[in-house]
A and B are shown apart, each in its own frame.
Chain A
């Protein structure tokens, strides 16, 4: 009896080799398919078309980009490098100022990103995008 018991104990070990195979295959699959693609980007918000419910008008700096890529702030033609100073002075006057970039449909996306980048560097947290009709 004693001898038999010790023998059955020896055999009671579960064979985990097939499970190991499966686990390894899964591991290799996930290692191969994992892509650590991390896009870097600039956050942009697009206001919805619905009219805003709260009529809480804070100061807005409107930056216009026309079809040729000319940048206009308050009817003054400016350079990309001047945007930061303009937005900074507006923020200094009213800290909750939001920035709206109105771009013409044919303007290059590169200029848009650069303008948004400059506005964000000036400290504007809310930068949104609007389409310019003409």
Chain B
């Protein structure tokens, strides 16, 4: 009886190898997909556009308020600082692409200045945020 009991105890260990496999796959998935997007810190009213397409893996988000203030990573920054921030972001991730989240009423001049600064910072893939029509 005692012998049998000992045998049973040895067999009650759960085989965790399949769970480990799944956990590792999940871990690798999340490591790969994490891109550490820096939020702008503002939520402007985005203009509507019918041709707006989802832009995956855009890690540089720059917000522009109605008054023309520029926000990046929850900080208000000057136009002269945009280039440096973009360069830092490209150093971290060379395949960066930028999205300018401009308010509907933001002046176009600021938008163009930011686009120039982003280009100077080495990112050519630039888009202006827009919500798909009807949402």
- Residues on A lying within 8 angstroms of B by beta carbon are 16, 20, 23-24, 26-27, 30-31, 33-46, 48-49, 65, 103-110, 112-114, 116-117, 120-121, 129, 131
**Chain B residues numbered 104-123 whose CB sits less than 8 Å from any CB in chain A:** 104-109, 111-112, 115-116, 119
Q: How far is the CA of A42 from the CA of B53 in the complex (A)?
A: 7
Q: How far is the CA of A53 from the CA of B46 in the complex (A)?
A: 36
Q: Which residues of B contact A113 (CB under 8 A)?
A: 47, 49, 102, 128, 130
Q: Are A30 and B51 in contact (CB-based, < 8 A)?
A: no
Q: Which residues of B contact A107 (CB under 8 A)?
A: 107-108
Q: Which residues of A contact B50 (CB under 8 A)?
A: 117, 121
For B57, give the chain A residue with the smallest CB separation. Answer: A38
Q: Does residue B52 face the partner (Cβ distance < 8 Å to A)?
A: yes
Q: Are A34 and B30 in contact (CB-based, < 8 A)?
A: yes
Q: Which residues of B contact A20 (CB under 8 A)?
A: 16, 20, 23
Q: Which residues of A contact B99 (CB under 8 A)?
A: 39, 41
For B105, give the chain A residue with the smallest CB separation. Answer: A108
Q: Are B34 and A33 in contact (CB-based, < 8 A)?
A: yes
Beyond A42-B52, A104-B108, A108-B104: 19 further Cβ-contacts under 8 Å? A16-B20, A30-B30, A31-B26, A39-B54, A40-B55, A40-B131, A42-B51, A43-B125, A43-B126, A44-B115, A45-B126, A46-B115, A106-B107, A107-B107, A109-B105, A109-B108, A110-B47, A113-B102, A116-B128
Supposing A40-B53, A107-B107 touch, asked if A131 and B112 sit within 8 A by C-beta, the answer is yes
Q: Which residues of B contact A121 (CB under 8 A)?
A: 50-51
Q: How far is the CA of A45 from the CA of B128 in the complex (A)?
A: 10
Q: Which residues of A contact B105 (CB under 8 A)?
A: 108-110
Q: Are A109 and B107 in contact (CB-based, < 8 A)?
A: yes
Q: How many residues of B are counted as interface, with CB atoms below 8 angstroms from the partner's CB atoms?
A: 49
Q: Does residue B86 face the partner (Cβ distance < 8 Å to A)?
A: no
For A34, give the chain B residue with the smallest CB separation. Answer: B34
Q: Are A114 and B30 in contact (CB-based, < 8 A)?
A: no
Q: Are A26 and B51 in contact (CB-based, < 8 A)?
A: no
Q: How far is the CA of A108 from the CA of B49 in the complex (A)?
A: 15
Q: How distant is B125 from chain A, measured CB to nearest CB, in Å?
A: 8
Supposing A23-B23, A26-B27 touch, asked if A43 and B108 sit within 8 A by C-beta, the answer is no
Q: Which residues of B contact A45 (CB under 8 A)?
A: 126
Q: Are A108 and B107 in contact (CB-based, < 8 A)?
A: yes
**Chain B residues numbered 56-108 whose CB sits less than 8 Å from any CB in chain A:** 56, 58, 61, 64, 99, 101-108
9 A-B Cβ contacts within 8 A? A27-B26, A30-B31, A40-B54, A40-B129, A41-B99, A44-B128, A109-B103, A117-B48, A117-B50
